[in-house]
Amino acid sequence: MVKSHSSGTNGVRVDRSVVPATIKSKSRARRHWWKQAAISAMWWFLSLTLFISLWELVTALGWVNTLILPPPHEFIAEIGNQEQFLSPRIGVERVGGNFVLLTAIVATLKRVMAGLVLGFIAALGVGGLACYFELFGKLTLPVITLLAPIAPIAWIPFAIMAFGIGDGAAIFVVFVGIFFLLTLATVNAVNNVDQLYINTARVLGANRRQVMFRVVLPAVIPDLFFILRINFFAAWMAVLAAEMVGVNAGLGAIVMVGRQMFNAKLMFLGMAIIGVVGYLLDVGFRQMQQRVLWWKGSSHI
């Protein structure tokens, strides 16, 4: 191991005279990245394999009731049967072929995204206004502070009463789930913007509005994005919960249909998909966060 490493360094040293430094360090960085990715993929694979094998083993040995805890290969095979079970139940139109699952994923994602975008923009707006107009802030912030700790799930009954079962209720739940917290975070972030930046802008001739939009806003966006990412999971869970207790269609509804039909395979299939999609979304968010934080350099994230 050590030996191959040092010979690698030697190889680079030979290159040094011919290859421009930037290209060389880029290719080295890329190689490093691939190596890291491969190692991490290997551990993922091992961990999953171990988990699935244990599960399969326990069910194969007959230690558990497979009606309640079906082995992975069975419930994954359930993908083929989704049309039969799901489409009449969760109100998804027949789109021909086996697209019911996809439709459910899209339905859930659409709700989460709509709620997040609306919540983010509204929180930024209200938080910004609360800082800009002192009176407005004094009048609204106490109420927002009181509403913030109410878990998004606790809003579901009200949402269904107010919006009926459908997209409206689910989007509302995501919205309230992040709006209050993110508004408070916005106020906090704005108050914590380094006075040095504000003074610099003022000396350079910025008026109050310019300080707000040209300095405070770019300074707080990365913080808020981070908080959005943290709160995303609460919102994600709230949508699934809403889909389970009434809002039709979506991934949560699949799990619920599974329970109602006493079809554990369908239930677990739904749960597995929820896990995978949730994970992929977080990866997506992290990528986006790096974009938003481009100016910090990747080492600071």
Partner 1 sequence: MSEIVCNHISKIWNPDTAEPNLAIDDISFSVEPGEFLVVIGPSGCGKSTLLSMIAGLESATSGTIQFRGQPIDGPSPHRSMIFQQASLFPWLSVIENVSFGLSLQGVGKRDRHNQAKQYLQQVGLLKSAHRYPHQLSGGMQQRACIARALCLGTDVLLMDEPFAALDVQTRHQMQKFLLEIWQGTGKTVVFVTHHIDEAVYLADRVLILTANPGRMLEIVTVDMPRPRDMMSKGFEYHRNLFVDHLRSEVVRAFEEQELAEMLDTRIK
Stretch that binds partner 1, among 138-146, 153-161, 212-220, 269-277 (CB under 8 A): 212-220
**Residue showing tokens 């001739």:** 205
Taking the least distance from each CB to partner 1, the nearer of 73 and 296 is 296
Q: How far is the CB of 187 from partner 1 (least distance, A)?
A: 21
Stretch that binds partner 1, among 21-29, 82-90, 94-102, 213-221 (CB under 8 A): 213-221
Binding mask 171-210 for partner 1 (x = CB under 8 A): -------------------------xx-xxxxxxxx---x
* CA distance to 39, 57, 67, 110, 270, per residue, from 45 (Å): 10, 18, 27, 30, 21
Taking the least distance from each CB to partner 1, the nearer of 114 and 217 is 217
Residue 182 CB partners (closer than 8 Å, separation 6+): 119, 120, 123, 124, 127, 224, 227, 228, 231
The amino acid that residue 298 corresponds to is S
- Cβ neighbours, 10 Å, residue 62: 8
Q: How far is the CB of 199 from partner 1 (least distance, A)?
A: 5
The span from the CA of 104 to the CA of 249, in Å, is 6
Residues 15, 20, 23, 24: what is their CA dihedral angle, to the nearest 10 degrees?
30
Taking Cα atoms as reference points, which of 272, 276, 298, 295 lies closest to residue 286? 298
Q: Which of 214, 271, 272, 285 binds partner 1 (CB under 8 A)?
A: 214
Q: How far is the CB of 88 from partner 1 (least distance, A)?
A: 52
Binding mask 216-235 for partner 1 (x = CB under 8 A): --xx----------------
Does 296 contact partner 1 by CB under 8 A?
yes
Binding mask 128-167 for partner 1 (x = CB under 8 A): ----------------------------------------
Taking the least distance from each CB to partner 1, the nearer of 67 and 288 is 288
Taking Cα atoms as reference points, which of 100, 79, 99, 80 lies closest to residue 89? 100
> 217-245 and 251-260 are packed helices; what angle lies between their axes, rounded to 10 degrees?
20
- Cβ neighbours, 10 Å, residue 17: 6
Binding mask 266-295 for partner 1 (x = CB under 8 A): ----------------------------xx
Taking the least distance from each CB to partner 1, the nearer of 161 and 203 is 203
DSSP 26-52: HHHHHHHHHHHHHHHHHHHHHHHHHHH
Taking the least distance from each CB to partner 1, the nearer of 146 and 204 is 204
Interface residue list for partner 1 (CB under 8 A): 196-197, 199-206, 210, 214-215, 218-219, 294-297, 300
